[in-house]
Structure 1
Amino acid sequence: MANAMNAKAETVDAVVVGAGPNGLVAANLLADAGWDVLVLEEQDTPGGAVRTAELTAPGYRNDVCSAFYPLAAASPVVSGLNLGAHGLRWLHAPLALAHVLPDDRSAVISRDLDRTAESVSAFAPADGDAWHAEFASWQRLRAPLLDALFRPFPPVRAGLRLARTLGAAESLRLARLLTMPVRALVHERFQGEGARVLFAGNAQHSDLGPGHAGSAVFGWLLTMLAQDVGFPVPEGGAGRLTDALVDRLTSAGGRVACGRPVTRVHTAAGEAVGVSDATGRMTRARKAVLATVPAPTLYRDLLAEGTLPPRLLRDLRGFHWDDATVKVDWALSGPIPWSNADVRGAGTVHLEADLTGLADYHADLSTGRIPDPPFLLLGQMSTADPSRSPEGTESAWVYTHVPQRLSWDRDALRRFADRLESIVERHAPGFTSRIEARHVQGPDDLHHVDGNLVGGAINGGTAAVHQQLFLRPVPGLGRADTPVDRLYLAGASAHPGGAVHGGPGANAARAALRRAGRGGAAYREVIQRLHGAIYR
């Protein structure tokens, strides 16, 4: 409320709530436009889920949460910031990815197209040519597709460009791909298990199983990106991506203040006017408040009761989180001794499920059972970036998904980590003897590290089709605008969703700039009428 903003409050053009990648992207775009921008972060350091620390042992640099960034490397949002000028350097493992089957066979993705085709051909001779054809299709539509993906919905100009590139017939086929289960896609396009599990394994970076509608596009997108840009890592750790974003922002005049969790977004006459934080300080916002917190946090906790339409709050009851996560980091005395030599050069490893195993894994998750066996996503960080650990050693991690709302004490986490290690040991005899130290994070630990990872959910809400595009986070406009004027949803629970690509932050910044610019009053009126029609 306006009278809560005392006369001594600091005043800026925009307050950004949260110094994760989306908040920092948004702040940079606003600072580029000449705005006075302040980013408020609850943790003692910026970065959100993009941070690096010595979690395990001295000299081992462990990424606290996320680690590999194909979407960041390909994102027109991130590439447009020229972060290389601020110290960011992408590095690659010899292989982008390996998927290890239960019988220890593996299929790999290399940035060398022929090397990948050779790998999948070992499972079915025709699949090498099929892989080449798939990648040729990707190259044709890559630029317009990525532009459309990272724009507010509907992406009118980018969508028209994509439609012109594809033509009517192929546009219909792309629409079909957007709704397909990955199991159906890979059975249509490939004959062998190798190519099929590469697509289906990459779909597991969402919370969708091989039989779920919409899982095909996630598997296809990440697989083609792995082939195209690899699964790169920032030299020195994930935190270097955050460092580059902060350095760029401060160079443009923006500021980041850590240790200041926002506790209230203040409004007056239906408009966001500023925030207050847990330190007792208040900050006025002349033009905008951009919040990267999850939609339930913003709408239920940070806004005063009665601010939002009741129907929106009712819709919010149907907001679905993605699965919870358990992550284990290791300091290893040497590289993981994989039985299958092809796996040793992979930065990212998927372990150990075929298509049936992936379906069983998701069946367990959907019924609230801890999967048995779990599907593992593993990172060999020193393989990708030797600076992550002392020479001859390896900094590595593994994570898997578990059902939401389970109770994990330290003993349960310890036993579960032992179980994950036994799976790696089965494919890499001698692995456990190389563990010098480990660090285990359960769902509550991840939530503590980054308040946006609610219950250990790492994608800001399910990626299922009922919560995508104009249905994210609830049925609405598919845009960053909220029913409160000059308040924008800028985090992963907004379109285009989770992962590190800057899309939600960029969309929020663009909306704020448009609202504050010429024709802003007319823009406001249109948005308010649309919200009124949806939520009345």
Structure 2
Amino acid sequence: MPSPSRRGDDTYDALVIGAGPNGLVAANHLLDRGWSVLVLEEQATPGGAVRSDSEVAPGFVHDTFSAFYPLAAASPFIRDFHLEKHGLRWVHAPAVVGHPRADGSWALLHRSRHVTAGLMDHQHPGDGEAWLQLCSQWDRVGHHLVRALLSPFPPVRAGLGLATRLRSVGGLGFVQTLLSPATELGRDRFGGESPRLLLAGNAGHADIPLGSAGSGLMGLLLVMLGQTVGFPVPEGGAGSFAQALTRRIESLGGRVQCSTPVSGVNVDSGRATGVTTRHGDRFFARHAVIADVVASKLYGDLIPRGELPARTTRAMKRFQIDPSTIKVDWALDGPVPWSTRPPYDPGTVHIADSVDQMVEALGQVSANAIPARPFMLTGQMTTADPTRSPAGTESLWAYTHVPQHATRDAGAGDVRGTWDRDDLERFADRMQARMEKAAPGFGTRVSARRILGPHEMEARNANLVGGAINGGTAQLHQQLVFRPTPGLGRAETFLRGLYLGSSSAHPGGGVHGAPGMNAARAALAHARVRRFIRG
């Protein structure tokens, strides 16, 4: 049961700033350990980037931000919450990921590795066997690799488990595979285009250049999760995932208070003691304040300026946010009219002419240019979950990355990068033209369209600074001990009792709950130490 309050209803063992997935995971874990917890959320509904709405068209549900959840399905933390007892039901599309090719064929990732391999082998003999070999290697190390990636750095226990199994998959040769760029991994392992497209396209979910170290690991991680847990979606919309986490908190005696923006962290003698809201209310924390807040906002806005060490101020000036995002939601009066229907309908679809064209588009973003032919991730949500729209229709979205500070348009020159309404409409037309090329007649199926640009995204979730969805770049120079800055590579901060539990902390973006769980565990460990010292 929650501990009794010493100062009344305004005091809790832990305060959590932000009801995003990381904040909700942290709150659930602390409640499981008997702490009293209050979660304070700025928006009117919990979920952060895990929310859904019906704004686009009557009868259509669109996920406002994130939509597919392989990392959540693989996360040991989320799995241990047994959210199915609180209303969550995962559902799957017939295929996991698809990529339409110029010749009318498809690169397809099916949940069955043998179906996937058969499709690849039909297109290029030998690729099926190579795919099954890669899956077999993953079977031996994947579980330990995922745990190592999600653990606080250094991942001692999970790392030892991984190290003992590396010899069975080729030792340092497999480590080299993990460190390879996605483009090289595809070329080295496969002769045909389809597996290369799947690896590169999944690597493109992050902002790591496809020719850089680390991109191969991202691509391999997602395709192998697709083969093991799939890319599930919550039945009824992403919001039902957040609602299940919230209901579990409430069932344990915790509170989630929405429409309550936090304006500052209160500090006394180098220790975080509570928070003040924008409405002037104060809440107190006996043990911990956990911030599911982007690092630039936590260290730039919420902590009193005089409490920030000079080295932290200097380091945060080098903190690199990830690229902006443009997302288009469509209500279609029929299925997507792909030029050739795939043998299995995928939930996630990647739109790019080739691996080289992906490299070109993502390279333009890295060079602060608005991409001429954007690489797009799309979601056929009704295909995955028939409750998302009326029978015979499709709830569809696509998103792509653009620079935070664009210096030029690599396309027709008609998009300035201000992302006002005119800019958004022109760029959405560019994205829709990409859909039209892959699915002739697409425009005739559109009954409604919504565009969310960087400004709209940040207004709906303050953590999405400039439309950045990962809490900071995923590139190697800002990962592990360097996330969010060197010296702040764990949940602990320079203030006692304050923990960073957002995707700005290791291991970064994606809906897996690890930053929140790592922050909660750190808070519990420090509380145990304090009790021991006090005797």
Report the TM-score when normalising by structure 1. 0.94
The CA deviation string for residues 395-428 of structure 1, in whole angstroms up to 9 with x for no partner, is 1101111111331111111121122112111221
Partner of 2:327: 327
Pick closer, same or farther for the CA change 1:343–1:331 going to 2, 3 Å: farther
The CA deviation string for residues 87-123 of structure 1, in whole angstroms up to 9 with x for no partner, is 1111000010101234443200001212211222234
Pick closer, same or farther for the CA change 1:116–1:520 going to 2, 3 Å: farther
Task: Return the alpha-carbon distance in structure 2 between the equivalents of residues 439 and 60 of structure 1.
Answer: 12
Q: Which amino acid aligns with 1:240?
A: S
Partner of 2:528: 517
Partner of 1:243: 243
Confirm or deny: 8 A CA contact 1:40 1:257 kept in the other structure: yes
Secondary structure at the aligned position of 2:263 is classed as: strand
Identity level (%): 52
Displacement of 1:167 after TM fit?
Answer: 3.6
Task: Return the alpha-carbon distance in structure 1 between the equivalents of residues 143 and 360 of structure 2.
Answer: 36
Secondary structure at the aligned position of 1:267 is classed as: strand
Secondary structure at the aligned position of 2:370 is classed as: coil
1:400 and 2:400 are equivalent in the alignment: yes
Q: Count residues with an aligned counterpart.
A: 517
Partner of 1:84: 84
Q: Which structure 2 residues correspond to residues 42-81 of structure 1 after superposition, within 5 A?
A: 42-81=42-81
Pick closer, same or farther for the CA change 1:520–1:358 going to 2, 3 Å: farther
Pick closer, same or farther for the CA change 1:43–1:361 going to 2, 3 Å: same
Bigger shift: 344-353 or 279-288?
A: 344-353
Bigger shift: 60-69 or 331-340?
A: 331-340
Partner of 2:455: 444
Task: Return the alpha-carbon distance in structure 2 between the equivalents of residues 36 and 174 of structure 1.
Answer: 45
Q: Which amino acid aligns with 2:340?
A: N
Task: Return the alpha-carbon distance in structure 2 between the equivalents of residues 344 and 404 of structure 1.
Answer: 36
The CA deviation string for residues 55-98 of structure 1, in whole angstroms up to 9 with x for no partner, is 21111011000000000011111101111111111100001010
Confirm or deny: 8 A CA contact 2:105 2:342 kept in the other structure: no
Secondary structure at the aligned position of 2:290 is classed as: strand
Q: Which among 431, 437, 446 is matched to residue 435 of structure 1? A: 446
Confirm or deny: 8 A CA contact 2:166 2:172 kept in the other structure: no
Secondary structure at the aligned position of 1:347 is classed as: strand
Displacement of 1:356 after TM fit?
Answer: 0.9
Partner of 2:14: 14
Task: Return the alpha-carbon distance in structure 2 between the equivalents of residues 520 and 172 of structure 1.
Answer: 44
Q: Which amino acid aligns with 1:130?
A: A
Secondary structure at the aligned position of 1:306 is classed as: helix
Pick closer, same or farther for the CA change 1:170–1:483 going to 2, 3 Å: farther
Q: Which structure 2 residues correspond to residues 39-438 of structure 1 after superposition, within 5 A?
A: 39-167=39-167, 170-342=170-342, 345-405=345-405, 406-438=417-449
Secondary structure at the aligned position of 1:26 is classed as: helix
Report the TM-score when normalising by structure 2. 0.94
Confirm or deny: 8 A CA contact 1:55 1:329 kept in the other structure: no
Displacement of 1:229 after TM fit?
Answer: 1.2
Q: Which amino acid aligns with 2:336?
A: I
Task: Return the alpha-carbon distance in structure 2 between the equivalents of residues 380 and 465 of structure 1.
Answer: 31
Pick closer, same or farther for the CA change 1:10–1:420 going to 2, 3 Å: same
Secondary structure at the aligned position of 1:505 is classed as: helix
Partner of 1:23: 23
Secondary structure at the aligned position of 2:431 is classed as: helix
The CA deviation string for residues 113-143 of structure 1, in whole angstroms up to 9 with x for no partner, is 1221122223421110000000111111122
Secondary structure at the aligned position of 1:341 is classed as: coil
1:453 and 2:440 are equivalent in the alignment: no
Task: Return the alpha-carbon distance in structure 2 between the equivalents of residues 268 and 15 of structure 1.
Answer: 16
Task: Return the alpha-carbon distance in structure 1 between the equivalents of residues 67 and 12 of structure 2.
Answer: 33
Task: Return the alpha-carbon distance in structure 2 between the equivalents of residues 363 and 237 of structure 1.
Answer: 33
Q: Which amino acid aligns with 1:377?
A: L
- The RMSD of aligned alpha carbons is 1.7
Pick closer, same or farther for the CA change 1:171–1:28 going to 2, 3 Å: farther
The CA deviation string for residues 315-340 of structure 1, in whole angstroms up to 9 with x for no partner, is 11111111111001111111111112
Q: Which amino acid aligns with 1:464?
A: Q
Secondary structure at the aligned position of 1:374 is classed as: coil
Confirm or deny: 8 A CA contact 2:483 2:505 kept in the other structure: yes
Q: Which amino acid aligns with 1:423?
A: R
Task: Return the alpha-carbon distance in structure 2 between the equivalents of residues 87 and 220 of structure 1.
Answer: 31
The CA deviation string for residues 279-315 of structure 1, in whole angstroms up to 9 with x for no partner, is 1100010000000111111111111113122112211
Displacement of 1:168 after TM fit?
Answer: 9.1
Bigger shift: 156-165 or 115-124?
A: 115-124
Secondary structure at the aligned position of 2:97 is classed as: strand
Partner of 2:515: 504
Task: Return the alpha-carbon distance in structure 1 between the equivalents of residues 499 and 486 of structure 2.
Answer: 16
Confirm or deny: 8 A CA contact 1:91 1:384 kept in the other structure: yes
Pick closer, same or farther for the CA change 1:437–1:267 going to 2, 3 Å: same
The CA deviation string for residues 322-369 of structure 1, in whole angstroms up to 9 with x for no partner, is 111100111111111111211771100001231210111122112211
Partner of 2:4: none
